[in-house]
Amino acid sequence: MAFAEMDFTFDLVEIGCSGQTEVVPSRDRVSEKVHLPLKTLPFGVPPVIPPLEKEIEKFLTSPEDLPIHDFKWAQRFLPRVKDPRPLFHTDVCPIQTSIQVERNPTTGKLLGYKEEFIPDTGSTSRNSLSLNRPPDPQSQDVRGSSLNIPFWPGGLDEPELDTLFKQKTENDVNFEKDLLVVAPGLTTGITFRRETTGSGDAKSRETDGVTKVLGLLNITDLLAEDESFDLGESDEEEEQVIEQKQEGTQENIELQRSESLENLVKVEEKAGSQETKIKAVSSPEPVEEWAFEVDIDTPVSDFYKKIPDMAHKWSFELDVFQKQAILHLENHDSVFVAAHTSAGKTVVAEYAIALSLKRMTRTIYTSPIKALSNQKYRDFKKTFEDVGLITGDVQLNQTAACLIMTTEILRSMLYNGSDVIRDLEWVIFDEVHYINDSERGVVWEEVLIMLPQHVNIILLSATVPNPLEFASWIGRTKRKKIFVISTLKRPVPLEHYLFTGSGGKTSNELFKIVDEKGNFLTQGYSKALEVKQEKGNKSVIKGQKGGNFNQEKNIWLSLVDMLKKKEKLPVVAFVFSKKRIDELVGNLNTLDLTTATEKSEIHIFFHKSISRLKGSDKELPQVTQMEDILKRGLGAHHSGILPILKEVVELLFQRGLVKILFATETFAMGVNMPAKTVVFDSIRKHDGSNFRNLVPGEYVQMAGRAGRRGLDTTGTVIILCKGEIPEMADLHKMMLGKPTKLESQFRLTYSMILNLLRVEKLRVEDMIKRSFSEYHSQKDISKHKQALDELQIKLKDMQDIECYMCAIDLEAYWEACKEYKSLKEHLQSVAITHPTALKALSPGRVVVVNNDSHRNALGVVLKFFLGLKNEKLFTCLVICDKNIKENTKENVEADKGKISFSNDVQPMTNMGLFFPEGPCWHDVVDLSGNQISVITAKTIKVEVDKIINDFKKRSQPRFKDDPPGQAISITTQELLRLTEANPKGLPEFELNLRDIELVEQFRSLQFLKDKFDTYQCIHCPTFMEHFKQINRNMKLKEEYKRLKFLLSDESLTLLPEYQQRIQVLENIGYCDANNTVQLKGRVACEISNHELMITELVFENALTELHPTEIAALLSCVVFEQKKCSEPKLIDTLEKGQERIKEIARNISRLQRAAGMQLAGEYEEEFHFGLMEVVFEWARGMPFSEITKLTDVQEGIIVRSIHRLHETLRDVRNAARIIGDPVLYRKIEEGSTMIKRDIVFAASLYTQ
């Protein structure tokens, strides 16, 4: 006790909740207002969640404590805060009318005022496609905004108010007759119709649509509505009732269709009015022409009188085709100029730019590649001051009157409703023949379709064989007249040679095979062939059939020496491999073609051009190597070379300092870079799938670089024959053959679909209809409409079959006969290719023939041969009536211009063999497999040659009356005897087919055949007459359905793929069941490359968690295209990101396959991860000289990929802004800044 009362000078403090204590000095607690706790936790031990058992026991024993019984909180009422102030602030309605002054047009005297409505009141770039909508703020990007909707495409009919009202009323539901029975999202619903019996009901319901459209009346329906009708009435009374009912009904229809009060007045039709109407409908409409070929053979003598004040003038006299083009430009016409390389097509573009400057409008010049845009910017800048350039990473003078850009950027501007389109007068499409490019050709078509009506089009192309066809498509699509100006004349004619030399004395072995007039010289080819054969295999080089690298070096050295002696330099040597170009340039290290003065000039220009690079970038191996080969007069130009070095090579070549330039095919797309000579290292190239010879269009485009206008009289083209000399036919086709036709490469993309779906008034189906791929089917629409009108008249006059027995199932019987005939022909055409059948169809085999001229007629096979398209054909002798040919000819003449009934469905009641009604005759015809309906087991002996020769002889007019020979007579009589002995048919030859599908189809055929006897209509006394009538009626109805199909969207070739892609977009939430674009879809509209993958990455939050350098590295997989390269070393984060991308790709691929899409390859194969390490280290600041050591990818490919990555990051940044993700927006902005540096984004020499 005494111990407890002692006052200690220390205290014990509990540390946490572990039970440990510490001794601390004691404090005067009395003086303290607040006592210090003797523990380190100020609020004691934290509470612990009670055990789960206690919680369960609590809920079981006291259920009244559950939250659901706490009604005070569950039914809590939140009072609304009243704030009436916003009710007093309303937006002012825009003024919808304006006061217009009326004046005398002659004197200008004021006559009065009138009020007129202002069109497009209240319209904005977010809700209107009209050009009259107010412009966006000036701060808006020149490319527009993805929130904008495009301007109305030219040539597309704008929906009028009546059409919109009609669509609205069509969607209204009649709750008495048109109750909805299909739930949203389902394809079928409940049918409340009464079930009816009879095999003809199903087919009759199918034709109800035809009947409703034509306004036809069914007599049974009329009688059913008449309650006073009595079966006991006389025929006359019955006819009176029917006539009165028909007249009354017809009158009601006319009253319902009346559109004005004046139409309610009954007007008696004059006699013959129906006939006049038919003639009016059947009169052919004039064919509307949209493309017009301009005559360029006749000189334009009054050119300067027609245009006394030209917008632009040149120091040289213009060619005829240039003058014709300028005349049409002055008349605001659209033109298509097709001419050879260096022919002067740029003159047309320059005049259009000058016109827009004069008229204070705008011109857009588009090119297929960015490099060509830079070159054109430099050229046009010399001529015109007001020129701008818009590329993925460069925007110069965006407000200029002439803007130069790639076609992809113009497409983006059109979809985003850029205000630049308002002032646009001309769009110039250069290198239009690149519309044949499978990857990028669709961009040209999209742009041409989306251009507004006020924009005129200038198309510049190399020579193509179908300019009128392409121009007709554009004219019909845009409803503009397109004037085609095509010239085959070359300003500098070409001469083509074969070079077979290999060094030394053979360096002069140059053989001309095509002269300057375009004549192929067989003698020159033969001499080259002889020389090559004399050498044998000595000159065959490595890679062809032996040889070595030194031998190839000798070939090139001897060629250069010969060209130098003949003053044929400079040379462009086309080599179709980047690796071979580097090897050739390195192997010619002893070649020096420049003087000391030229070396000095090259040195100064080269160092001045790379002076803007960092110190380490100037020492790159490719830079130092390029300087060395340029000083020796050589140059290399391909995609693996750094862009700034390619521009140095181009500019030095234009100055004439590069004597031999080794280049790939893309150099042929350059501007104003002709040489004196063009050399082909080979005429074979790899097109991505296999090796092939150059096509004429490719060869002509590259060979066209030979010959400098104003400097050379002829251009020289040389093909190196290092191995075997190419075949004469291949050379002739390549040099003098027709260039490749312009063909559509239109395809559907998710980006295109989403961009069109977000605009309510534009349909994807309309885009497909107006594509070049649908041109041939859509150009005949007016003819189809006219034929449909004529057919409707025939259908109204069509007589129904008034027969009780045939009304039951005659139509169903006809359908069964049609199905039997179709299945029979299909099976016969398949079976005829079976080896057993082909063996059986030897001369002498008896067959049953069914074609346009013969029905179930016996014939005998004479011989077998292959047709033009490798179709298997059989020459047969068939028995027939003597006048079969005369009758057939007369029927064809009589039915000309009508629906063809030559391939009619035949009734299967009398399936016996044909027996001639008069004297038995014969016919020798060539039959395809599906025209031989039965291969019998019977064979007869025939004399093939005698039969064929005799028939050919009597086919001549002077021998037509000769009697048939003995061989034909014996064969004909034998076939007639077999027909008499077997009227129902001969036993069939057993093919012993083992294909399960074919066996099942043969069973179906037999089932149809057995079912024919169960139909009631075959017992009708006049069955054959009625069958002919139903055959005519069904033919008309089928033709009606066919024409309706051709005029509908269902006939579009790409419609199934469109529906499949819509299904994919629905499944991943980009649009809903009503095709309304959702948030994910709007984000995808911002992405220009692999929109589905990037959008999924954004919405799965796969990028937000990463560092900006990691984001850039991960997204490099969507822009890097090289499939094979060294394997990158990745950190764990990037490896996880790579697996995530592959997982998303597999999911998208699975959805596409589930929708039925037929893809060329797997979706995940489109992503290549070889540059991830390179981009990651580049974003972290590693010098480019170190970057090149991380991979075997060439420097030029790295730079191009990072450029494209920068554009992709810009798209993702816009997507982050739309979804409101500031973190992702900031990280993408940082990533873009990190990669945009040094040599990768060095400014183009053409823009300096």
Q: CA-based Rg of the chain, rounded to a whole angstrom? A: 42
* Mean pLDDT, range 153-165, rounded to an integer: 65
Considering 90, 108, 142, which residue would you say is the last residue of a domain? 90
- 27, part of any domain: yes
Coil/strand/helix, residue 904: coil
* Mean pLDDT, range 1166-1191, rounded to an integer: 92
* Mean pLDDT, range 1173-1182, rounded to an integer: 93
Q: How far apart are CA 25 and CA 23, in angstroms?
A: 7
Mark whether 329 and 408 lie in a shared domain: yes
Mark whether 814 and 962 lie in a shared domain: yes
Mark whether 356 and 332 lie in a shared domain: yes
- 402, part of any domain: yes
Report the 10 Å Cβ neighbour count for 523: 10
**Domain boundaries, position 855:** 804-892+905-1021
Q: Which residues pair with 404 in a beta bridge?
A: 365, 389
Give the β-pairing of 510-514 and 677-680: unpaired
Q: How far apart are CA 945 and CA 881, in angstroms?
A: 23
428 or 100: whose pLDDT is higher? Answer: 428
Give the β-pairing of 20-25 and 10-15: antiparallel
* Percentage of the residues of the chain whose pLDDT score is greater than 70: 81
Judged against a pLDDT cut of 80, whether residue 991 lies above it is answered with: no
999 or 405: whose pLDDT is higher? Answer: 405
Q: Which residues pair with 113 in a beta bridge?
A: 101
DSSP state letters, 1166-1183: G---TTHHHHHHHHTT--
Give the β-pairing of 97-103 and 110-117: antiparallel
Judged against a pLDDT cut of 50, whether residue 2 lies above it is answered with: no
Judged against a pLDDT cut of 50, whether residue 99 lies above it is answered with: yes
What's the confidence (pLDDT) of residue 246? 47
What DSSP character marks residue 64? G
Identity of the amino acid at 278: I
Q: How far apart are CA 818 and CA 820, in angstroms?
A: 5
1064 or 251: whose pLDDT is higher? Answer: 1064
- 768, part of any domain: no
Judged against a pLDDT cut of 60, whether residue 1231 lies above it is answered with: yes
Q: How far apart are CA 319 and CA 341, in angstroms?
A: 15
* Mean pLDDT, range 810-838, rounded to an integer: 82
* Mean pLDDT, range 436-449, rounded to an integer: 89
Q: Identify the band that residue 837 occupies on the pLDDT scale cut at 50, 70 and 90.
A: confident
Mark whether 380 and 460 lie in a shared domain: yes
Judged against a pLDDT cut of 70, whether residue 1198 lies above it is answered with: yes
Q: Are the beta carbons of 299 and 320 closer than 8 angstroms?
A: yes
Mark whether 863 and 915 lie in a shared domain: yes
Judged against a pLDDT cut of 60, whether residue 261 lies above it is answered with: no
Q: Are the beta carbons of 1006 and 789 closer than 8 angstroms?
A: no
Identity of the amino acid at 531: V
In sequence order, which residues have a C-beta less than 8 Å from that of residue 80 and are 6 or more positions away? none
What DSSP character marks residue 342? T
Report the 10 Å Cβ neighbour count for 1218: 16
Judged against a pLDDT cut of 60, whether residue 894 lies above it is answered with: no
For 227, phi then psi, to 5°, come to -70, -25
What's the confidence (pLDDT) of residue 219? 46
What's the confidence (pLDDT) of residue 1064? 94
For 1030, phi then psi, to 5°, come to -65, -30
* Mean pLDDT, range 1190-1204, rounded to an integer: 92
Tell me how far the alpha carbon of residue 139 is from its chain's centroid: 35
For the ranges 734-748, 1031-1045, 1085-1099, the one whose mean pLDDT is highest: 1085-1099
Q: Identify the band that residue 829 occupies on the pLDDT scale cut at 50, 70 and 90.
A: confident
* Mean pLDDT, range 375-394, rounded to an integer: 89
Judged against a pLDDT cut of 70, whether residue 89 lies above it is answered with: yes
Least confident of 226-230, 346-350, 507-511, 1211-1215: 226-230
Report the 10 Å Cβ neighbour count for 724: 14
Judged against a pLDDT cut of 60, whether residue 657 lies above it is answered with: yes
Q: Identify the band that residue 1164 occupies on the pLDDT scale cut at 50, 70 and 90.
A: confident
What angle in degrees, to the nearest 10, is found between the helix axes of 1132-1154 and 1091-1099? 120
For 68, phi then psi, to 5°, come to -70, -20
Identity of the amino acid at 179: L
Which residue bears the tokens 């979809």?
415
Coil/strand/helix, residue 159: coil
- 1154, part of any domain: yes
* Mean pLDDT, range 829-855, rounded to an integer: 82
Considering 460, 486, 512, which residue would you say is the last residue of a domain? 486
* Closest to 152 measured CA to CA, from 479, 532, 520: 479
Mark whether 558 and 413 lie in a shared domain: no
> What CATH code is carried by the domain that includes residue 1099?
1.10.3380.30
Q: How far apart are CA 1206 and CA 130, in angstroms?
A: 34
Q: Identify the band that residue 202 occupies on the pLDDT scale cut at 50, 70 and 90.
A: very low
Mark whether 598 and 450 lie in a shared domain: no
* Mean pLDDT, range 945-960, rounded to an integer: 86
Identity of the amino acid at 55: E
Judged against a pLDDT cut of 60, whether residue 562 lies above it is answered with: yes
In sequence order, which residues have a C-beta less than 8 Å from that of residue 990 and are 6 or more positions away? 937
Report the 10 Å Cβ neighbour count for 212: 9
When divided into structural domains, the chain yields a total of 7
Identity of the amino acid at 913: L
Judged against a pLDDT cut of 50, whether residue 260 lies above it is answered with: no
What DSSP character marks residue 332? T
Mark whether 924 and 991 lie in a shared domain: yes
CB-based burial, 346-356: b 16+ in 10 Å, e otherwise: bbbbbbbbbbb
- 939, part of any domain: yes
Judged against a pLDDT cut of 80, whether residue 652 lies above it is answered with: yes
For 933, phi then psi, to 5°, come to -80, -30
* Mean pLDDT, range 351-360, rounded to an integer: 94
Q: What does pLDDT average to over the chain?
A: 81
Segment 216-225, tens digit of pLDDT: 444 444 444 4
106 or 908: whose pLDDT is higher? Answer: 106
Mark whether 475 and 498 lie in a shared domain: no
Which residue bears the tokens 């909707």?
149
Report the 10 Å Cβ neighbour count for 131: 14
What's the confidence (pLDDT) of residue 68? 64
What are the structure tokens assigned to 1199, written together? 């730079």
For 1098, phi then psi, to 5°, come to -65, -45
- 790, part of any domain: no
> What CATH code is carried by the domain that includes residue 319?
3.40.50.300
Q: How far apart are CA 1238 and CA 613, in angstroms?
A: 7
Mark whether 336 and 462 lie in a shared domain: yes
What's the confidence (pLDDT) of residue 205? 41
Instruction: Give the DSSP H or E segment for 405.
Output: strand 402-406
What's the confidence (pLDDT) of residue 553? 83
Q: Which residues pair with 861 in a beta bridge?
A: 876
Tell me how far the alpha carbon of residue 1150 is from its chain's centroid: 23
Q: Which residues pair with 362 in a beta bridge?
A: 424
Judged against a pLDDT cut of 60, whether residue 895 lies above it is answered with: no
Q: How far apart are CA 283 and CA 790, in angstroms?
A: 10
Q: Are the beta carbons of 756 and 150 closer than 8 angstroms?
A: no
390 or 39: whose pLDDT is higher? Answer: 390
Q: How far apart are CA 1088 and CA 1094, in angstroms?
A: 10
Judged against a pLDDT cut of 50, whether residue 749 lies above it is answered with: yes
Mark whether 240 and 360 lie in a shared domain: no
First and final CA of the chain: distance in angstroms? 101
Q: How many angstroms separate the Cα of 177 from the Cα of each of 192, 202, 904, 968? A: 11, 21, 39, 69
Identity of the amino acid at 750: Y
Q: Identify the band that residue 331 occupies on the pLDDT scale cut at 50, 70 and 90.
A: very high
Judged against a pLDDT cut of 70, whether residue 36 lies above it is answered with: no
Segment 587-628, tens digit of pLDDT: 888 888 999 999 999 999 999 999 888 888 888 999 999 999
- 462, part of any domain: yes
Mark whether 549 and 602 lie in a shared domain: no
Tell me how far the alpha carbon of residue 452 is from its chain's centroid: 20
DSSP state letters, 1105-1131: TS-HHHHHHHHGGGT---S--PPP---
797 or 634: whose pLDDT is higher? Answer: 634
What's the confidence (pLDDT) of residue 17? 61
Q: How far apart are CA 1247 and CA 394, in angstroms?
A: 10
Report the 10 Å Cβ neighbour count for 314: 13
The answer to whether the Cα torsion of 639, 544, 691, 470 is positive or negative is: positive
Q: How far apart are CA 757 and CA 415, in angstroms?
A: 11
Which residue bears the tokens 């059989």?
874
* Mean pLDDT, range 763-779, rounded to an integer: 89
What's the confidence (pLDDT) of residue 26? 66
Cis peptide bond prior to 299, omega within 30° of 0 = no
Sheet holding 715-720, edge to edge: 510-514, 494-499, 715-720, 677-680, 571-574, 660-663, 634-637
- 1046, part of any domain: no
Judged against a pLDDT cut of 80, whether residue 634 lies above it is answered with: yes
What's the confidence (pLDDT) of residue 172? 52
What's the confidence (pLDDT) of residue 1201? 93
What are the structure tokens assigned to 1202, written together? 């990072």
Segment 1018-1038, tens digit of pLDDT: 888 888 888 888 888 888 888
